[in-house]
Chains A and B, each alone.
Chain A
Amino acid sequence: MKAVCWMGKEKMQVHDVPDPKILNPRDAIVRITSTCICGSDLHLYDGFIPTMEQGDILGHEFMGEVIEVGPGVNKQKIKVGDRVVVPFTIACGNCHSCKDQLWSCCDNSNPNAWIAEKMMGYSPSGLFGYTHMLGGYSGGQAQYARVPYADVGPIKIPDGIPDEKVVFLSDIFPTGYMGAENCNIRPGDTIAVWGCGPVAQFAIRSCFMLGAGRVIAIDRVPERLEMARAAGAETLNFDEVDILEALQEMTGNRGPDACMDVVGMEASGHGAMYAYDRAKQLARIETDRPIVLRQAIMACKKGGTISVPGVYGGFVDKIPFGAYMNKGITMKTGQTHMMRYMGPLLERVQRGDIDPSFVISHKLPLDQAPEGYRIFRDKQDRCIKIVLKPWEQQLAA
């Protein structure tokens, strides 16, 4: 089959590789019909998260048809022929974390848990195509994928709904939604959202679904700001204004009730602090550039909430912890506990509350994935979200 392989920093290649096999009793094999490139993949593309191996197959946002199941799979839950969306977090369904609905913290799904334990104390769940510290599982930017614990994660999709409307249930819609839920929204609240990438677009819409009165969205890419405004958000361009001052002005010197960091470890910025982070990150002394996290802590109202769906990989410097402590702020974080949200959000799509395909800017054949990574990273060609089609040769953009 064809698969998108990480061959080193900024080196993505499409290779012919053997088809995946059932390895464990609860595995299934899925023939992939749609798969996406995520902002999280960019952290790997840029080489900022350790424990990648040359030859790894990337991709964690995919859906398709089940073509084989292992002997241990509960056939009531999933069987050959089912059309499914696969969540990016791999969860066993029966450990203490899974029983507590903390699916992205599954105790059992990471075969390399010991590496994550050294970096984080305890290991979160395994993820598809996302470093060996988080499992080393081959991902879904390919024609087929092996899905472990297939009777726990994948959600069945009825025929008649096109891939484009449901494929984002694999990650970014639930992620934006959990980011909003973690803001602890009360009716009428003002939420500041850093980033207007694909995840943030869903976060902004979810804030309104959960009762926010105002959403202030921050980015610098014109078409992304425009898409945020289309959802009803007010926008700020961090190239043009001082974000802290602007937020003070807009909230009457009170600060947003909640601040959401939907940018993560590769935030851009200005001035001395940005130069400091960039230099340290390139020298590998600091793994992450926490520009947004710092701003969010400073901007947040007293007693407010900070929600961090943006991904961080390791260590950050110069976090204003004094501000965090003295203002009595609460922070909520995490990879998304996917299985909590997929069902309810599928229902919202079916009811017509939201059509997630609004975020798609490009559909490309799998062969063009390397090009796709580049334009997505560099925000060229008005690229916002790329869906890859593994079985098609030519596609209209």
Chain B
Amino acid sequence: MQRSSASFDHFSSQLPFGPKTLVLGAAALVAYGLTRRSKTGTALAAAGGLLAYKAARGQSTESSTHAVFLLNASPEQAYKLWRNFKGLPRFMAHLKSVRELDSRRSEWIALGPGQREIRWHAEITDDTPNQRIAWRSLPNSDVYTSGSVEFRSDPQGRGTFVSANVRYGIPGGSVTSGLAALFGKNPEFVVREDLRRFKQLLETGEVPTTRGQTHGPRGIHGHTEQVLFREKTNLPDPQVALAYSHSA
């Protein structure tokens, strides 16, 4: 065990990508291995698990999450979609609701692991139309959080760079424990996927999903695979089906 773990450290330090990529790559390996349903498959999955563990352990506790996407829209369109805070849950999968209290303050409710509600009040600290929005939580919230999003027109005329920086913490706890409380083990993944959904919503008017689609009997295998591919946690609720259920 000692030897094999040492060689994994060596292996991961040789790779041309960082620990976060490695975590997800390893997750894919686990997923791939488990779909094989064979001895080699199990071995692959185990190798993936070890890689993920090694890579996750290597992550700095100070990291705040960051993601960037180039979108086919103007900064004005992007700013407008984001600035409408009550619409944020359409692309931020963990948010249940955002309510604007006045022009600066808002109340946020997120769903943590196990559907636990986490609430905070936030205030806008910067609002530069079509360029930047920044916010931070107010004292006496369940979590400490701050974040910003920037919209920068591509000088090559290919649309808008949207970059988001988000930090979370628990009062008295570390940044990472706050992130984990909100997002489970992979905050970087969540912020990146939220921003991807923002791009999808802006470019197409909807966020793609297969949640609620028809399919054959899943059985134990099918359900396990859905968990592995994060289809239970990462797919947004369908928009029309939601609208129907609200009106019904």
Interface residues of A (CB under 8 A from B): 1, 3, 5-8, 13, 15, 17-27, 50-57, 70-72, 92-96, 99, 107-115, 118-119, 126, 132, 135-138, 146, 148-149, 283-285
A17 to B214 Cα, complex, angstroms: 7
Q: Give chain B's interface residue range (CB within 8 Å of chain A).
A: 35 or more
Report whether B208 and A21 are in contact in the complex, using a CB–CB cutoff of 8 Å. no
When distances are taken between beta carbons in the complex, the residues of chain B under 8 Å from A22 are 240-241
Report whether B200 and A112 are in contact in the complex, using a CB–CB cutoff of 8 Å. no
Report whether B215 and A55 are in contact in the complex, using a CB–CB cutoff of 8 Å. yes
When distances are taken between beta carbons in the complex, the residues of chain B under 8 Å from A51 are 31-32, 35, 225, 229
Report whether A53 and B226 are in contact in the complex, using a CB–CB cutoff of 8 Å. yes
A20 to B213 Cα, complex, angstroms: 6
Report whether B72 and A57 are in contact in the complex, using a CB–CB cutoff of 8 Å. no
Report whether B218 and A24 are in contact in the complex, using a CB–CB cutoff of 8 Å. no
Highest count of chain A CB atoms <10 Å: which of B189, B215, B229, B238: B215
Report whether B210 and A111 are in contact in the complex, using a CB–CB cutoff of 8 Å. yes
Highest count of chain A CB atoms <10 Å: which of B158, B208, B221: B208
When distances are taken between beta carbons in the complex, the residues of chain B under 8 Å from A132 are 225, 229, 231
When distances are taken between beta carbons in the complex, the residues of chain B under 8 Å from A23 are 209-213, 238-241
- Sample of 12 A–B contacts (CB below 8 Å): A7-B219, A17-B215, A21-B212, A22-B241, A51-B32, A54-B216, A71-B240, A93-B204, A96-B70, A96-B72, A132-B225, A283-B40
- Which of B28, B205, B213, B218 is in CB contact (< 8 Å) with A118? B28
Q: Is B136 part of the binding interface, using a Cβ–Cβ cutoff of 8 Å? A: no
Report whether A72 and B205 are in contact in the complex, using a CB–CB cutoff of 8 Å. yes
When distances are taken between beta carbons in the complex, the residues of chain B under 8 Å from A17 are 214-216
List 16 additional A-B contacts (Cβ < 8 Å) besides A21-B212, A23-B238: A8-B37, A13-B216, A20-B213, A53-B218, A54-B219, A55-B216, A72-B205, A92-B200, A92-B203, A93-B204, A95-B203, A95-B204, A118-B25, A136-B210, A138-B213, A284-B44
Contact A3 to B189, CB < 8 A, known contacts A8-B221, A114-B234: no
When distances are taken between beta carbons in the complex, the residues of chain A under 8 Å from B213 are 20-21, 23, 137-138, 146
Q: Is B217 part of the binding interface, using a Cβ–Cβ cutoff of 8 Å? A: yes
A146 to B225 Cα, complex, angstroms: 22
Contact A284 to B36, CB < 8 A, known contacts A17-B214, A94-B204, A115-B28: yes
A107 to B196 Cα, complex, angstroms: 10
- Which of A54, A113, A119, A137 is in CB contact (< 8 Å) with B28? A119
Report whether A25 and B216 are in contact in the complex, using a CB–CB cutoff of 8 Å. no
Q: Is B206 part of the binding interface, using a Cβ–Cβ cutoff of 8 Å? A: yes
CB distance from B23 to the nearest CB of A (A): 10
CB distance from B67 to the nearest CB of A (A): 12
Number of A-B contacts (CB under 8 A): 172
Report whether B229 and A136 are in contact in the complex, using a CB–CB cutoff of 8 Å. yes
Report whether B217 and A15 are in contact in the complex, using a CB–CB cutoff of 8 Å. yes
Closest chain A residue to B242, Cβ basis: A23
Digit string of B35-48 for contact with A (CB within 8 Å is 1, else 0)? Answer: 11110110010000
A108 to B236 Cα, complex, angstroms: 14
When distances are taken between beta carbons in the complex, the residues of chain A under 8 Å from B44 are 284
CB distance from B201 to the nearest CB of A (A): 9
A17 to B213 Cα, complex, angstroms: 11
Report whether B218 and A55 are in contact in the complex, using a CB–CB cutoff of 8 Å. yes
Report whether B222 and A24 are in contact in the complex, using a CB–CB cutoff of 8 Å. no
Closest chain A residue to B213, Cβ basis: A138
Q: Is B111 part of the binding interface, using a Cβ–Cβ cutoff of 8 Å? A: no
A22 to B212 Cα, complex, angstroms: 10
Closest chain A residue to B69, Cβ basis: A107
When distances are taken between beta carbons in the complex, the residues of chain B under 8 Å from A126 are 208
- Which of B205, B216, B239 is in CB contact (< 8 Å) with A56? B216
A380 to B190 Cα, complex, angstroms: 49
Report whether B204 and A138 are in contact in the complex, using a CB–CB cutoff of 8 Å. no
Report whether A24 and B216 are in contact in the complex, using a CB–CB cutoff of 8 Å. no
Report whether B204 and A114 are in contact in the complex, using a CB–CB cutoff of 8 Å. no
A395 to B220 Cα, complex, angstroms: 36
Within 8 A of A (CB), among B222-248: 222, 225-226, 229-231, 234-235, 238-241
CB distance from B107 to the nearest CB of A (A): 28
CB distance from A308 to the nearest CB of B (A): 23
Report whether B214 and A52 are in contact in the complex, using a CB–CB cutoff of 8 Å. no
Report whether B27 and A118 are in contact in the complex, using a CB–CB cutoff of 8 Å. yes
Report whether B214 and A3 are in contact in the complex, using a CB–CB cutoff of 8 Å. yes
Report whether A70 and B240 are in contact in the complex, using a CB–CB cutoff of 8 Å. yes
Report whether B222 and A26 are in contact in the complex, using a CB–CB cutoff of 8 Å. no
Q: Is B193 part of the binding interface, using a Cβ–Cβ cutoff of 8 Å? A: yes
A5 to B218 Cα, complex, angstroms: 10
When distances are taken between beta carbons in the complex, the residues of chain A under 8 Å from B72 are 94-96, 99
Report whether A50 and B240 are in contact in the complex, using a CB–CB cutoff of 8 Å. no
Top 3 nearest A-B pairs (CB, nearest first) are: A5-B216, A23-B238, A54-B222
- Which of A24, A112, A137 is in CB contact (< 8 Å) with B238? A24
Report whether B206 and A25 are in contact in the complex, using a CB–CB cutoff of 8 Å. yes
CB distance from B101 to the nearest CB of A (A): 30
Report whether B240 and A108 are in contact in the complex, using a CB–CB cutoff of 8 Å. no
Report whether A15 and B216 are in contact in the complex, using a CB–CB cutoff of 8 Å. yes
Contact A3 to B208, CB < 8 A, known contacts A112-B229, A112-B231: no
Contact A21 to B241, CB < 8 A, known contacts A55-B219, A111-B210, A283-B40: yes
